[in-house]
Structure 1
Amino acid sequence: MLFFQLTWESFRFAISALKSNLTRTILSLLGVTVGIFAIIAVFTLVDSLENNIKSSFSFLGTNVMRVDRFPFASGPQDYPWWKYFRRPSATVAEYRFLEQRLGSAEAVTISASATTTVQAGSNAFQGTQLTGVAYTYQDVYEIALEEGRYFSEMEINASRNLAIIGKTIAKTLYPNQTAIGKEIKMKGMKFIVVGIFEEEGEGLFDLPSKDEAALIPYGAFTKLFYTGRNGIEPTIAAKGREEDIGLVALENEMTGLLRAKRGLKPVEENNFALNKTEFIQNAIGSIFDVISAAGWVIGGFSILVGGFGIANIMFVSVRERTNIIGIQKSLGAKNYFILFQFLFEAVCLSLIGGGTGIILVYFLSFVQLGSLDLVLSFSNIILGLGVSSVIGIVSGIVPATLAARLDPVEAIRSN
């Protein structure tokens, strides 16, 4: 109880001292305010930008491994594309082979994509990202529908002329009514709309969006486009299990099965690439780690200036209240009480400055930056307050220690 009483008294002394020198207090906390604002604003912008970019790549799926001819790569390196170009493309037979034997995956699917024009009466939508899918496509990739349903397994196997279309396509072709059950045409072939994707909205980059995409059964896709080595190459993808960290087991098993299916000898290298979709997200994350480090440097200088400002004000405060400190000690005040009194004042000053900076970032998050939504996260708020507290402690510990060590007789005699 004594500790809490002393803490409360120290807090009251600190607030009273800050109020008595309001102009000086405001000037001293400006440095911390600018520093915390710079750091948290950069982190908020970086986090929002990173989340927006990663969500733009959501069409690649999560925890998914793809079979491709070309491996994902980043940074300057020797990339023998001519060797990868000669590799065979994935086939339906390989998809069936993996689907029957792959035990490390939750699901395996095959798909192929092309750009086409969708028509309905006199209306048309160009640039549709059309994808032919297997029934297991919904088990590997997230399919969020606003209206309608996904294809049944029987419809997929029978290559029925059915389609799931994006919201933008639906509004363009049927602006004043629902597109469910309506007829659309692609390359002269009629399809019935059975589902409409949930609206995604405008992305930060010009990347594939479900608003402008359409799905049809894989067999129906092969009626519209030639697939294979000299046509549109299909992609086999497998979704790994949650307990398979890094998809190590899935990668090893897929490698062995594909080598066996393609008849590769032990001395021959793989003629395929297994690409993890997390590669892109990790590459994006590493880029933003560098930007975050730059944010610490930018804000660090401002916080350093603010810390020196607080330390200077605390030294002045100790000098002005030396006589009062002597009286307090003569009446029985302990050294740690004096220490707490000035340390709390420094921390309060720093927290007020940091809190003001966070509030400014919060108002900044309402600024419209096109399709980028700025979101001030709770973790960034805690980070800002934590940094402010540390700056207050570091800036105030030396003046507070000097005040606590003053001799009461000499302190009372000082003017």
Structure 2
Amino acid sequence: MKTFSLIWESFLFAFSALRTNLTRTVLSLLGVTVGIFAIIAVFTLVDSLENNIKSSFDFLGTNVINVGRFPFTNDGRDYPWWKYFRRPPGSFEEYEFFQERLKSAEAVTISVSAGTTVKAGSSAFEGTQITGVVDTYPDVFDVPLQQGRFFTGSEIQAARNVAIIGNEIATTLFPNESPIGKQVKIRGMKFTVVGLFEKEGGGLFEISSKDQTALIPFGAFGKMYYVGGRRGVEPTIAAKGSEEDIGLVALENEMAGLLRAKRGLKPKEENNFALNKTEFVQNAIGSVFDVISAAGWVIGGFSILVGGFGIANIMFVSVRERTNIIGIQKSLGAKNYFILFQFLFEAVCLSLIGGLTGIVLVYFLSFIQLGSLDLVLSFKNIVLGLGVSSIIGVVSGIVPATLAARLDPVEAIRA
């Protein structure tokens, strides 16, 4: 209890010294403020940018493997697109083959997409991505609905003309009213709206979000477009793996084996398909932003270093100014750690005030509108800023505080 009382008294001494020399305090914490502001601002921008970009690729799903002709990556070698172009596209028969035999997947689905215009009365929405789906589509990809429902099994099987439309399409075609039960025209065919997607908002890239997307049954899509073959619209088969399958290794191996058997490939023949994991895109984005974060540390590190030197310089000056007071305190029985804590707390308080000021500046910065990019100051970055401030305070103040604690009381009083 006595130790706690002495520590608290040391803190009060430090706070009193900071308040007495207010001008010097403000000037000395500016370096730390600029440094913390630079680091946390960069990290906030990087985190917000990374989250925005990753959310733009949410349509790829999570823990999903897609069957395609073109691989996402080729391990840094030349990309022989002409060879991939000659590969056969996926088919509905292969989807049914996976449905019957694939054991490592939680769900398998097939979808096919094309760009078109959706009309209702005299209104039209251009640039709609129309996607034909089957009943397993919600088991692999998220289908967040604001109103209505997903297709029933009978609607999928009978290829009925029903649709789920995006928020932007609904706002354009049916302003100020619910689109559920209304009719829209797609390539001259009438579709009844049974569902409305939740509003998603735009991303940084020109990638169609759910706001500009319309889902229809796979069979209904086939009424308007030729599906399959080299001249038709190419469908995509996707399988969702389980959380226990780390890296989706088991799912990938099983899918490769089944597809090779289905396509009649001999043991020595290479795969004429690509199994693309959606995590590849997110990992690639993450690696890019790791480099940017490292650059942020370098940029902010120099500012923090300057701020640390400034605090250390002020603390050396404070020790000299208060040498006589230190001697009196020691002569009255003050322990070395009491003097040490007194100056160390002063350095840490200086650094923390500077850090908090920098974080507050970043918080106000997050209110600036940057188009579709939302700046969000995360709790992780706040803790990081305070942690870095505390460390800088300790490192900058430990040497002056140690020198003050080791002063001889007699010589200190004479100073």
Instruction: Give the C-alpha shift of residue 76 in structure 1.
Output: 5.4
Aligned length: 414
SS of 2:117's equivalent?
strand
Residue deviations 1:267-314 (CA, integer Å, cap 9, x gap) = 111111110111111111111111111111111111000000000000
Counterpart position of 1:224: 224
Q: Is the 8 A contact 1:33 1:356 kept in 2?
A: yes
* Amino acid paired to 1:160: R
Which residue is 2:282 aligned to? 281
1:352 CA drift (Å): 0.4
Cα separation, partners in 2 of 1:13 and 1:106, compared to 1, 3 Å: same
Q: Which amino acid aligns with 1:222?
A: G
CA distance in 1, matches of 2:74, 2:214: 30
**Are residues 1:18 and 2:21 paired?**
no
Matching residue's letter, 2:244 = E
Aligned equivalents of 2:316, 2:177: Cα separation in 1: 73
Task: Please tell me the residue identity of whatever aligns with 2:64.
Answer: V
Matched residue SS, 1:107: strand
Following superposition, the deviation at residue 170 of structure 1 comes to: 1.3
Aligned letter for 1:224?
M
1:61 matched residue in structure 2: 61
Deviation at 1:158, TM superposition (A): 1.0
5 Å-filtered alignment, 1:133-212, equals 133-212=133-212
Match of 1:272 in 2: 273
SS of corresponding position for 1:207: coil
The letter for the 1-side match of 2:315 is M
User: Which stretch shows the higher mean deviation, 227-236 or 170-179?
Assistant: 170-179
Per-residue deviation at 1:74? Answer: 7.5
Relative to the length of structure 1, the TM-score reads 0.98
Question: 2:95 and 2:7 mapped to 1: Cα distance?
Answer: 69
What amino acid sits opposite 1:218 in the alignment?
F
Contact 1:164 1:196 in 2 (8 A): yes
**C-alpha distance in 1 between matches for 2:132 and 2:235:** 9
Partner of 1:359 in structure 2? 360
**In the alignment, which residue of structure 2 is the partner of 1:86?**
86
Shift of 1:77: 3.2
Offset, 1:2: 2.1
8 A Cα contact 1:325 1:408, kept in partner: yes
Please say which of residues 119-128 and 302-311 is displaced more in the overlay.
119-128
SS at match of 1:190: strand
Q: Could you tell me how far apart the structure 2 residues matched to 1:331 and 1:24 are?
A: 29
TM-score (norm 2): 0.98
The gaps in structure 1 that reach 5 residues or longer are: none
Q: Return the alpha-carbon distance in structure 2 between the equivalents of residues 398 and 302 of structure 1.
A: 21
CA distance in 1, matches of 2:67, 2:328: 80
DSSP 3-state at the match of 1:370: coil
Q: Deviations over 1:296-354 (max 9, x none)?
A: 11111110000000000000000011111111111111111111111111000000000
Q: Which residue of 1 aligns with 2:370?
A: 369
Q: Deviations over 1:96-138 (max 9, x none)?
A: 0111111111100000000011111111111110000011001
Q: Secondary structure at the match of 2:239?
A: strand
Q: Aligned partners of 2:315, 2:272: CA distance in 1, in Å?
A: 70
Q: What is the alpha-carbon distance in structure 2 between the residues aligned to residue 375 and residue 138 of structure 1?
A: 30
**SS at 2:296 equivalent:** helix
Q: How far apart, CA to CA, are the structure 1 residues paired with 2:114 and 2:364?
A: 43
In structure 2, give the amino acid aligned to 1:355.
Answer: L
> Helix, strand or coil for the counterpart of 1:146?
strand
State the match for 2:125 in structure 1. Answer: 125
- Given that 1:59 and 1:208 are in contact with CA atoms closer than 8 Å, whether structure 2 keeps it comes out as no
Single out whichever of 305-314 and 238-247 deviates more from structure 2.
238-247
Residues in 2 aligned to 1:48 and 1:74: alpha-carbon distance in whole angstroms: 29
- What residue identity is the alignment partner of 1:245? I
Moved more, 344-353 or 257-266: 257-266
Letter in 2 for 1:40: I
What SS does the corresponding residue of 2:72 show, helix, strand or coil?
Answer: coil
Query: Structure 1 residues 277-286 or 69-78, which shifts more?
Result: 69-78
Structure 2: which 5+ runs fail to align?
none
Identify the residue that residue 102 of structure 2 maps to in structure 1. Answer: 102
Give the distance between the partners of 1:377 and 1:309, measured in 2 at CA.
28
1:5 is displaced (CA, Å) by: 1.1
Q: In the alignment, which residue of structure 1 is the partner of 2:324?
A: 323
Matched, 1:235 2:236: yes
CA distance in 2 between partners of 1:108 and 1:75 (Å):
27
Label 1:255 to 1:317 Cα distance change in 2 as closer, same or farther (>3 A). Answer: same
Match of 1:410 in 2: 411
CA–CA distance in structure 2, aligned partners of residues 222 and 38 of structure 1:
55
CA distance in 1, matches of 2:389, 2:374: 26
Distance in 1 (CA, whole Å) between partners of 2:382 and 2:176 is 45
| Equivalent in the alignment of 1:31 | 31
SS of equivalent to 1:271 = coil
C-alpha root-mean-square deviation of aligned residues, in Å? 1.1
Distance 2:75 2:32 in 1: 38
**Number of the residue aligned with 1:338:** 339
Structure 1 residues 189-243: Cα deviation after superposition (integer angstroms, max 9, x where no partner): 1111111111112222211111111000001101111111221100000111111
**Distance across 2 between alignment mates of 1:236 and 1:126:** 27
Aligned to 2:383: 382
Q: Which residue of 2 aligns with 1:248?
A: 249
